[in-house]
Structures are given as C-alpha cells and as structure tokens.
Structure 1
C-alpha cells in the first residue's frame, strides 16, 4: 500500500489534476564505461525537456534489461537544482529509493519529485553500472517522465467504454496475508495485468515459492518490486519496470479524467490506478491503494479488480472513484501493454 499518503488527504479537499504531460526520451548511447572502484559506470544525460505548463510534480519511469550484477540509477534535475535520485534499480536487486532529498527547489517522496515552486523544464540522467571487468551491461529500453499540475478537474464526460469489461484474471492480496500480502496491492495488480497479457516469470523463477501458495505470480511480483528505502512494494516506477522486464511497454502516467481510462479499455488495455478513499466514498477506507480498472457498467460505474475486495471484482460509483483517484495520486496510472 502507499502508506506515505497521509490521512489528511482524505479529510482536506484538494483540487484534482488540471494538466499532465508524458514525455519520452531517446537514448542513443549510454556512453563509455569508466571504472569506479570495484564497478564500471556509463552515464547518459538527457536534454532539457520543456513543459507546456508549470508543473508541481514529476514522476519518471523506465524499462530496462539488467543482467545479474548490473543495475541503473535514474536521476532528475530541475533548473538550478542538484541531481535528485529517483531510483536505484535492478531486476535482480537491490532496488531502493533514497530518503532525505529535500532542498529549496523541491523534495523527493520515494518515487515522486515535488517542486517547491512550479517548474517549466527538467532533465533526466541514467547511470548504468556493472562489475569491473565485466562484458555484460544493462540496457535501458524506455525512459520518460510524467509532469503534472493541480487545478480544475477535466470536464470530459466519457461514455465510449460503458458496457465493456475486459477479462483480467482476478488475484487477491488478502490470500497472501499470512506472509505479508496484506500490503501487496500494487504487485498484485501488476501481476493481474501481466497474466492478462500472458506474460510473467517462467516456472523456473517461481521454484522458491512455498508449496501450496495461492498464486506464486503475486509473490514473485512482490519480491521484485520491493523498495528497500520505501520498505514496501508500492513504488510506482518499480512496478512498471518489473512489468517491462517481460517485454511489455510499461510506464507511469497521469490522467485528468476517467474518460482517458475509457479510451484504454476500448483499446483492450486494463489500467492500474492509485487512489485513497474513505468508507463513505467506496465502502471501506484506504490511505493508499492500487486497483485494476477492467471496464464500466452500462451507466458508467467503474468495474475493477480490487485486490483487497472479497471476490476481487467490484463496482464503484463513478464520481466518488474519480475523485479519490485524482485527489490522492493526481490521476496516477500504470499503463502496461504490448
């Protein structure tokens, strides 16, 4: 769960996202590997990316191939600031975010950069690392960031996906409660979408899971998305990076209305959304939760695979769901597709 979302998010009215833009990088070459002690590093620095509006937050995401022993570090910089570390990542581990990054320009909350004053540009930097003398190297396949600003909600009504529902396999985090799964909403949701696309770890990578486990795919996703710094499995970028390990295009995006998610459903793409809500809104309360949107009823209610719901499949009121999603996470969504 996203425990860093405080209870006051549920109590204080906040304007939802007004604008969001996703920008992708083109990594031509990672540079030359240079020895740094017992390791070698190659650095790629992206160009300054200008934004069409002043943004409050920026969230990078990436997909990469990291053979054993290799890893990467993703950093972000805004005008006048230092480089902030947004993640140290490897499929094989370790994976961690870095606490304590706060200055006059902004602060890093695990996987999110929050600006002290709105910014109109940023840069990304990736450092690739391998053992000294090794011939293997990590390869970054996709890299980008979503920038957003709060304001007045989008007025898009939607309707094009009403009456549609995708057949996404249902998985419960509560089935894993005996070994830590009560907080595994994010990897459980990610595992559902991987299973939907018929992707995921081969049987050999599941051999460590105890016999009789209700769903080894969920345990595997939880192990490979665990953030040592955050001490949880809810890191947004780590979940999409995990999905990308299996050949899928995966990124963290932000949207301004449920109408955008309807367009994904029409394309056959089930989005994973991050939200926080009270009992009065959705029937139970959560300070931070991930669900898979699988479709919409004929009158526009939201159909989800909720990993914390009994039976997993649930239907929630449209307005309350949209408000909880935009307010709590600024419309944060995992978009995972071929």
Structure 2
C-alpha cells in the first residue's frame, strides 16, 4: 500500500445446466487482462482515510473533521437534475505505484445526508514526476440513497488514450495518477457530505493465472457466513435488475454484512412486501443499483454500501488464494468475482457464467475453497467447496483476483508485507 505516491435471461427453476449472465460489470474478454510477464502480478492500493492523509491532498472548500473529509465552505455551484448544488473539491497528491498500470478502480466510504452526493474522478500523466496529463474522467456519481440523485457511472470517455468501463479506468500504461472528489449539496440545504475513506487500486496483470498456489495459513478455517440465495429473488423489482441472476453482488455483500451483524435495520426495507425471503437483499440491490450501467454489479457501489455499516470496505485485487487465506485467518470473508465456462468449476450450481460474485468463507485442510455461492436455488445449497486449482484460475484470469474487502474494527486487516490492502 502506497499512501502518497446483464440482461436478465434466467427464470424460476434455474438448473445446473443454465448459464449465469449479467451479474458482474467486468466486460473484459476472459483471459484478456492486460498483457505482462506471466509471473508478475503488479497491484498497488493507495488509501486516504486519516487526517494526515486527507491533508496531504489539496482541498478547496473542504475541511477535515474527526478524520473525515467534509464539505465546509462551497467554492462554486453546479446544475444537475434541474437543481443547483453547492460544491467543494479535494484533489489527491500524484500517486506513482512503481509500475506502468493499465487499470485503476477507485472505491470510497461516504455519507450523503439530505440532498447531497459525491463525484469521484481520476486523471493520469505520462511521467511519474511530470509529463502530459490526461483529462479528468468520472468514475462514479454516488449517493447513499436514491430519493434525490440516481447513482451512475459514465462508460466511454475515451478522448485521450484512456477510457472508463463502468467502474474501471483503463489505460495503455501510465506511471502515475491523481484522484479528485467533488462533494455536492443542494444549494441552501446546509448538508455536509463527507468521506471516511477513498482508495485507488492500480494494476498491471498477466493473462494467465500461472501455477496453483499451495495451501497456507487458513487451512481448516471456515467462517460462519450466513447463506443467502440470489435466486429466491427472481422477478423482484425490475427497476433494480429484477432479482435472480442479476443480484449476485448485493446478495454476496449482504452475506458478509450478515456475518458482521451489520445488516440494515428493518425500517430501511419496510417497503418490501411481507413474506419476501431475506428482504435486506432487495434493499441492498436498490442501494447498489447503477442507473447508467443498469445493474447491481458495480464493484465500488457495493463496497460504498457496505462500508458505513461494517466499518471499512474497499475494492482491491489479490495475487493468489494464499493472499485470500490471510484474510480468512484474520476472520474477514471476501466477496470475489469469477467467470467460467462449461466444466471449468466442478460442483458449481450453474454450468457457466460470464461474470459472477460469491463469498470466500474458508478453506478445507487440503486447500479446497469453501464458498457461499448465491447462485444456488436454495439456502442449503449456497455453501459449496471448490477445487483450489479450478477456482484460482477462474478468479485470477476472469477478474484479475478482484475482491471486496469488508471488515469491522474487531477484524483488522492482515498485517505484514503487502501493497494491495
């Protein structure tokens, strides 16, 4: 860690011969992660979450209050949704991860009271210490609720050799970048949107998973993560994806929040009809829905939903299941993104998926991966055990080892040498 420098195709009655689609936002062709040496998995996570780290950047109309970055004295206004908003900005220092990164994913934890919201932006430059700068690209417009502002991303923005694919910023290879956060509130409201955490995960990855990792520190540890099925929600709320095969991400995120006893209070989802199984999943789907992408699989939108409930949450990539084991040993389950074809993941509740989120809950003594796979049609079938070699391959080659890290104060991040958390 460096601190400064789908469409819905399935219906009720999903069977093991079905193919899951549209659950994850990653539209990279499988096996087409940025080319690099097969043995090198370059990943760096930079985080800003302390007073000193916020103060290392340049604030304009912001202040630091009890470790949070807050909108303090607006510096201008912006028109959006037919309304006028006051705004303030915070810009990070230039960050050089130490390699030429080809992808960057930002994540954040924010509070947006009343009619307020945030916008997260990124730009790069051609040299670590100078050079040509790209334009600012928008990575997300986000609010905790949806009464006033619709959460959205802006894919494309490919005017200068960089582009946005929903939640991922792609480059042809740049050595440094800068984040900018705009905090906005309805003019005259007095609301104080604030941020507890902003991270940026940059990476340059090989296309191949390489050799299967050996079992490590979490052999025989299985965490008591509750089991929820996304498929019991098939047909729920078409405005937010329609449940079922589209809701793997909010269902997985909800399982981890359930593990921490951090699910939303019943009053939050009282609009869900009585008798709906696991109504907090319906709520999570609504509160993670990306209205531009038209889905609930936006990675940082899910961690932004989870963060204020559990404590901290961010998106990163891990290099192997050995690194994942360090989190399980620390008591931290992981939501991870996989994709696989027929015969590539033995024992899965579906035959294939072009993008799917599930929870790593632990490991068997022999190294098999224990998961909570929400694609099962029942709660009982959610708990699965997958072959280590198969699982590591479909995880690393499909998403580059992407993971949601969600944890509370009782479960600090694993200590020791690392650059990606």
* TM-score, length basis structure 2: 0.76
Query: Structure 2 residue aligned with 1:332, among 399, 402, 418?
Result: 402
Aligned mates of 1:336, 1:11 — CA distance in 2: 27
Conserved? CA contact 1:250–1:335, under 8 Å:
yes
Conserved? CA contact 1:2–1:234, under 8 Å:
yes
Deviates more, 1:242-251 or 1:184-193: 242-251
Q: 1:10 to 1:4 in 2, by over 3 A?
A: same
Q: CA deviation at 1:153?
A: 4.8
Task: Give the secondary structure class of the aligned counterpart of 2:96.
Answer: strand
Structure 2 counterparts to residues 141-290 of structure 1, below 5 A: 141-151=196-206, 153=209, 156-179=213-236, 180-182=242-244, 183-283=246-346, 284-290=351-357
Aligned mates of 1:250, 1:303 — CA distance in 2: 22
Work out which of the two has the higher radius of gyration on C-alpha atoms and give 1 or 2: 2
Aligned mates of 1:108, 1:10 — CA distance in 2: 19
Aligned mates of 1:68, 1:13 — CA distance in 2: 41
Displaced runs of 4+ in structure 1, greater than 4 A?
10-17, 152-156
Task: Give the secondary structure class of the aligned counterpart of 2:392.
Answer: helix
Conserved? CA contact 1:3–1:287, under 8 Å:
no
Aligned mates of 2:407, 2:225 — CA distance in 1: 13
Give RMSD over aligned pairs.
2.0
Aligned residue in 2 for 1:65: 111
Conserved? CA contact 1:244–1:250, under 8 Å:
yes
Aligned mates of 1:44, 1:228 — CA distance in 2: 25
Q: CA deviation at 1:48?
A: 0.1
Aligned mates of 2:401, 2:367 — CA distance in 1: 18
Deviates more, 1:196-205 or 1:19-28: 19-28
What are structure 1's unaligned runs of at least 5 residues?
none
Q: CA deviation at 1:119?
A: 1.3
Q: 2:124 matched to 1:78? A: yes
Task: Give the secondary structure class of the aligned counterpart of 2:30.
Answer: helix
Q: 1:53 to 1:115 in 2, by over 3 A?
A: same
Q: CA deviation at 1:298?
A: 1.5
TM-superposition CA deviations, 1:158-216 (whole Å, max 9, x none): 32111110000000000101212121000000000001001021111111011110011
Aligned residue in 2 for 1:123: 178
Q: CA deviation at 1:120?
A: 1.2
Conserved? CA contact 1:165–1:303, under 8 Å:
yes
Query: Structure 1 residue aligned with 2:30, among 9, 13, 20?
Result: 9
Deviates more, 1:99-108 or 1:57-66: 99-108
What are structure 2's unaligned runs of at least 5 residues?
1-22, 63-72, 126-132, 237-241, 409-421
Q: CA deviation at 1:132?
A: 0.6
Aligned mates of 2:177, 2:354 — CA distance in 1: 30
